[in-house]
Amino acid sequence: MPLKGHVPTAHKTYWLEHAWLGTHVEPGVALDVADDGHIAAVRTEAATPPPGAEVLRGLTVPGLANAHSHAFHRALRGTVQVGSGTFWTWRDFMYKVAQNLTPDSYFALARAVYAEMALAGITAVGEFHYVHHAPGGAPYADPNAMGEALIEAAAEAGIRITLLDTAYLAAGFGQAPSTHQLRFSDTTADAWAERVSALKPREHALIGAAIHSVRAVPAGQLATVAAWAAQRRAPLHVHLSEQTAENDACLAAHGRTPAQLLADHGVLGPRTTGVHNTHLTDADIALLGSTTTGTCMCPTTERDLADGIGPAVRLQRAGSPLSLGSDSHAVIDLLEEARAMELNERLSSRTRGHWTANALLTAATEDGHAALGWSQAGRLEAGALADFTTIALDSVRTAGPLPRLGAETAVFAASAADVRHTVVGGRHIVRDGAHTLVPDVPSALAATIAALRS
């Protein structure tokens, strides 16, 4: 299924005033897009726009990949900042919002959230989706109604989605789901696999799998989820060691860390991404690195929930590829996630320069897309998907540095507010800072969030 309303584009050319090509910023680049939505050619030394080309002024980079999202958490922004509390008190409020979701209201909210992502330069999202059933746990007439709503919402917002359909079966080690969690649970991993097998990929959508956490999927059922993903060569994501309480409970129940438990049941590997990976032992880090299991860092959520700073430098050095996500959507800004990963490490270590700007942009683009199964995205080169975004170099945040320092400017100075254009499959989704498919994104967000409070 093509992107909503999509008509295959005729061959067209974009002229990029400045383009980040993975290692450096190149001035004057003509980017030809074939009518199948892939890049046909990248021509450098194009000092002036070719006749008929669409002009993108600023710094164009590959589309950003938001590798970890819970779309309905966007309704929590601001509200959960009142007072204090812990991750666990935040979770209680999250459950209340989840209880009010229906397929229709989730579609409307997700459409607005994904449109906000497009405005932030995000061209693909990994939706870690676990609100499957009606309140009380009864399946909808279409057991995948909620997942289908998210897939359609991404289409209407004009971005790609990897639906990471999530197994969430228990409240904790040896604990049945709570009342709030009943709508998350398929009761067994086999039942989860049967339901998710009915979901089909589309042009803009891939189907992946997720294990919510080791506390939410009994150890004896982890292998079922891993096997489902392996048979389809699909991405598999898992919340891993987000809080120390999870580690303590896992050690008490199984005598090993969550990472070791996942390894014992065949979950780790190059198509698997651990989300957060915050509280790891030295052995855990070596295990994730040796299996090339990825790490998705979500710094703005991790700091919002006071979860801690994960060992991202050590994980990457051990062999774990890094990606980035906005998770609970305290903000939706992948440039801020990239910046925060470096700045958090500086605060923790009291040294600077753990990643170059190029490396941080790679985590936000190519490596993020790879974690979501979009191996053809994340690069400005012939044959890649024509997904890219343009960041202003003349805003109050970005004016001043030389254009050749565009990568540093984007990562360490720019914000989502500086995104001027977003193109997905050669199609302009955001033009001059305005969404072309969702005419008033702020109003759509306000209306859909207000409806969940009523």
Maximum distance among all alpha carbons in the chain? 68
pLDDT for the residue 80: 76
Show which residues are catalytic.
276, 327
Q: Which residue type, as a one-letter code, is found at position 87? A: F
In 39-84, beta strands by DSSP E: 39-43, 54-62, 64-69
**Residue 23 and residue 365 in contact, taking contact as beta carbons nearer than 8 Å:** no
Average pLDDT over residues 190-203: 98
Average pLDDT over residues 145-152: 98
Measured at the CA of 444, the angle between CA 442 and CA 450, to 5 degrees, comes to 100
pLDDT for the residue 131: 97
Q: What is the mean pLDDT of the chain?
A: 95
Average pLDDT over residues 155-173: 98
Which residue from 147, 136, 243 is spatially nearest to 179, judged by alpha carbons?
A: 136
Q: What is the pTM of this model?
A: 0.96
Residue 113: which region, alpha, beta or left (left: phi > 0; alpha: psi -120 to 50)?
A: alpha
- DSSP per-residue letters across 216-257: TS-HHHHHHHHHHHHHHT--EEEEES-SHHHHHHHHHHHSS-
**Residue 69 and residue 296 in contact, taking contact as beta carbons nearer than 8 Å:** no
Would the pLDDT of 1 be above 60? Answer: no
